[in-house]
Structure 1
Amino acid sequence: MPHLVIEYTSNLENFPEAHLLDALNAAVIASGQVQNEQDLKSRTVRTEQFVIGADPTALRGFVHAELRLLAGRTPEAKRDLSDRIGAVLREFTPHPEGMLVQLSVDIVDMDRGSYYKGSL
């Protein structure tokens, strides 16, 4: 905990996965909402098959971030995290000419009672 998953469409050429993840981890850790920096696990998922809207001729893409945290944070803390992540996405996401690129962030509460965490 926490888990940060970034999904992005394959039509966003040269998506800067490594640099984006470094910047996102720094932003989330700087929020003060992560007790131990080594607990933050981030990854990207390139989405090959996707549909946005109903116009097959429109040039569109998206980047969606989902941050999963153990429940208990205030709405203000979640909004701050969402804003921080959104700012990093805006800075690092490619914007090909003529393409509408949608950015979104979702902060998801994980159930403390059923979450398991172990180490080896």
Structure 2
Amino acid sequence: MPHLTVEYSTNLGTDITPAVLRAVNDALLGTGQFHEADIKSRAIGFDSFAIGTVDVPRAFVSAKLSILSGRDAQTKRELAQALLAALEAAIPANGMELQTSVEILDIDRDSYAKSHRTG
């Protein structure tokens, strides 16, 4: 925990690479809320999307951070702001209107199961 999923429009012209994800992971680690090895992130690019109704150059990055329930609203705001800042620093707008958003989602502790094995 946590699990970060970053969705983005591929017209952005910049793939969200493992290096970008590591930079975002570093930002999450810097909050002091998570252990380094527990931070997992992935990115999914979308070729089919629509932003608004006007045909102008627009792109999006949408991050969803799933964390175990129990953190207060202030901590969630701080996590969202840290992620937003890291994404904005790592992903250029490339001359487009770029909308970047972050959502913090709670995972119910009672229904979450995790295994860690070394093979």
With normalisation by structure 2, the TM-score equals 0.92
Task: Give unmatched runs, 5+ long, in structure 2.
Answer: none
Where does structure 1 differ by over 4 angstroms across 4 or more consecutive aligned residues? none
- Count of residue pairs the alignment pairs up: 117
Match of 1:66 among 64, 67, 75: 64
The answer to whether the 8 Å contact 2:14/2:91 transfers is: no
RMSD: 1.2
2:88 is paired with a residue whose SS is helix
Q: Does 1:14 align with 2:11?
A: no
Following superposition, the deviation at residue 59 of structure 1 comes to: 1.2
Whichever residue aligns with residue 41 of structure 1, its letter is: K
- Counterpart in 2 of 1:94? 92
Identity %: 40
The answer to whether the 8 Å contact 1:13/1:94 transfers is: no
Task: Give unmatched runs, 5+ long, in structure 1.
Answer: none
Larger displacement relative to structure 2 (57-66 or 8-17): 8-17
Following superposition, the deviation at residue 100 of structure 1 comes to: 0.8
1:72 is paired with a residue whose SS is coil
Q: How far apart are the structure 2 equivalents of 1:103 and 1:39? A: 24
Q: How far apart are the structure 1 equivalents of 2:115 and 2:58? A: 40
Following superposition, the deviation at residue 17 of structure 1 comes to: 1.7
Following superposition, the deviation at residue 19 of structure 1 comes to: 2.2
Whichever residue aligns with residue 105 of structure 2, its letter is: V
Q: Does 1:109 align with 2:106?
A: yes
